[in-house]
Amino acid sequence: MDADIKRPLIISVSGLDGSGKSSLVRHLSEISCLQPAIHSKRLLFTQTRKVFDTYKDSEQQTGTYIDKNNPLAQAVRYGVLFDALEYFESELFPLYHHYNTLILDRWKLDYRAFMLLTHSKEDIEILLAPLPEADLHIYLSVTVETARERIRRRGSLKEDEAPEIMTALTESYQQVIAESANQNIIVIPNDDWSITLNKATAAIYSLINDQ
């Protein structure tokens, strides 16, 4: 690594589809007190996702949306690594793989830590428990009913978001968090948006000031 390049602070945001991950990252990227760190590349957000909602036409801007004509534009704008499952089988994989690899190689990070390959507890552990690369892990906690309603409103409810699957995933997340030795995990119930945003901002700002 170049001597004059400092490793960025990595903020990992996870939760069910519909928990508000994308909204949180977008709003955090616009918080004035975080702007200097974001613009200087000192702050890097990652989103851990169960599925990857990319295959939408340009007028359907719902979920984690990236324009197929410029698939890296949103990722570059927000400084986000998009963690994916479905893109491994997509035409966009070479681009995302290239973008992720460039960043991870530059900062000597573990590529596994950013990939959720299945829905199993073991893979969730890769993202949560042994994530030394993440300086702060934010888990957005919502009920399955709330998450499903949010997904339904944006018109993208899929078979793998059946109540029993989302409940099992939630239980796995909660168990991993409870057993984790990583003290840099904060759980934020996302039932009041202003409180959620304030808590996340405060935690990240404190982390920046501790450097």
Query: pLDDT digit of tens for each residue in the chain (211 aa)?
Result: 344 446 678 788 888 778 888 788 888 888 899 888 877 777 877 765 433 333 333 333 333 433 444 433 333 333 344 443 334 444 444 544 555 555 555 555 544 444 433 444 555 544 444 344 678 888 888 888 888 888 788 766 665 567 777 787 777 777 777 776 666 888 898 888 899 999 999 999 999 998 7
Here the tokens at position 199 are 């808590």
Would you state the pLDDT for residue 24?
Answer: 87
pTM of the predicted structure, to 2 decimals: 0.66
Would you state the pLDDT for residue 36?
Answer: 87
In angstroms, rounded to a whole number, what is the distance separating the alpha carbons of residues 100 and 82? 8
Task: Tell how many helices (H) and how many strands (E) occur in the chain.
Answer: 8, 5
SS3 label, residue 164: helix
In angstroms, rounded to a whole number, what is the distance separating the alpha carbons of residues 44 and 79? 6
Quickly list DSSP for 71-130. TTHHHHHHTEEEP-SGGGGSTTHHHHHHHHHHHHHHTT--GGGG---SSSHHHHHHHSTT
Q: Report residue 32 CA to chain centroid gap.
A: 21
Q: Quickly tell me which residue has 């903020």 as its tokens.
A: 11
How do the domains of the chain map onto residue ranges? 9-210
Would you state the pLDDT for residue 148?
Answer: 84
In angstroms, rounded to a whole number, what is the distance separating the alpha carbons of residues 32 and 38? 10
Cβ pair 134, 46 in contact under 8 A: yes
Would you state the pLDDT for residue 126?
Answer: 43
Would you state the pLDDT for residue 136?
Answer: 87
Q: Report residue 172 CA to chain centroid gap.
A: 17
Give the CATH class of 9-210.
alpha beta
Would you state the pLDDT for residue 155?
Answer: 67
